[in-house]
Structure 1
Amino acid sequence: MHSSSHLFNFADDTIVVGLISKNDESAYRDEVQRLTAWCKDNNLSLNMEKMKEIVVDFKRAQSNHSPLNINGSNMEIIKSTKFLCVHLAEDLT
């Protein structure tokens, strides 16, 4: 696991948190690809209908983030979600 990425699991819920600095998303994207490969190697399927991405960006001039692509499908970018009964929003409110 890259030092700027963290993986959190609870039961069948998993979240990958990546710190992107200097607009370099490569470590985060690599970590997601490693997780995808691990799931495939261990005969676990990823449900793209349930997989979402939320981007928290505090820069004044926000960047356009392209969605993650897993197995040919783009992950939906959302503005808020709930994880383990905690509501998370892109502006952390």
Structure 2
Amino acid sequence: MHSSNHIIKFTDDTTVVGLISKNDESAYRVEVQRLTAWCRANNLSLNVEKTKEMVVDFRRAQSDRSPLDIDGSNVVIIERILSSCITAWFGNCTVSDRKTLQRIVRTAEKIIGVSLPSITDIYSTLCNHKANSIVDNPTHPSHTHTPLTHTLHPPVIWKEEQCTSPVEGSGRI
């Protein structure tokens, strides 16, 4: 096994964890192929339809990845396990829970050496994206129940006697 890979087994689940550095996925992909061959040799079948590949990539410019292939089938890639459901649970977290989560993010930053957005920022951004997608999609079931356009894009009202700057009293037209 390559030093950047780890295999975690629990009952009938197996997880291959690989650290990919300098865009070199070869050690990770070889490890997956070894696991596939081992399963075949030991009369175990991999259910590729249930197999998922989770990619955690904190780089600013993410590169295209070719799908992982197991026995001729492409494995589904999950890129956002945390952020895909944060809008469902974060709003109900206690202050203590939020502080704990943020400490975990700071620990992850130290481990990977990259600055990460705060959990609150991720939550706010994803809530805005979700609300905008509902407003922009007339076929969404909640579209007619969410008159959010005015709250997402507040209008700027200028009176003729107001200045050209939003700072009060800074000038007149």
TM-score, length basis structure 1: 0.84
After TM superposition, give the deviation of residue 64 of structure 1 in Å.
1.2
1:80 Cα offset (Å): 2.0
Please list the CA deviations of residues 1-56 of structure 1 after superposition, one character each: whole Å capped at 9, or x if unmatched.
Answer: 11000000000011100000000000000000000000000010000111000100
* Amino-acid identity (%): 71
CA RMSD of aligned residues (A): 1.6
Higher strand share: 1
For 1:27-46, list aligned pairs within 5 A.
Answer: 27-46=27-46
Residues 1:71 and 2:71 are matched in the alignment? yes
Q: Which has the higher contact order (CA 8 A, sep 6+)?
A: 1
Give CA deviations for 1:40-92 in whole Å, capped at 9, x if unaligned.
Answer: 000100001110001001111111111100111000011328xxxxxxxxx9x
Distance 1:30 1:48 in 2: 17
SS in 1 for 2:39: helix
* Equivalent pairs, count: 83
Normalised by the length of structure 2, the TM-score is 0.46
**Higher Cα radius of gyration:** 2
Other-structure match for 1:4: 4
CA distance in 2, matches of 1:7, 1:60: 28
* Unaligned 5+ runs, structure 1: 82-90
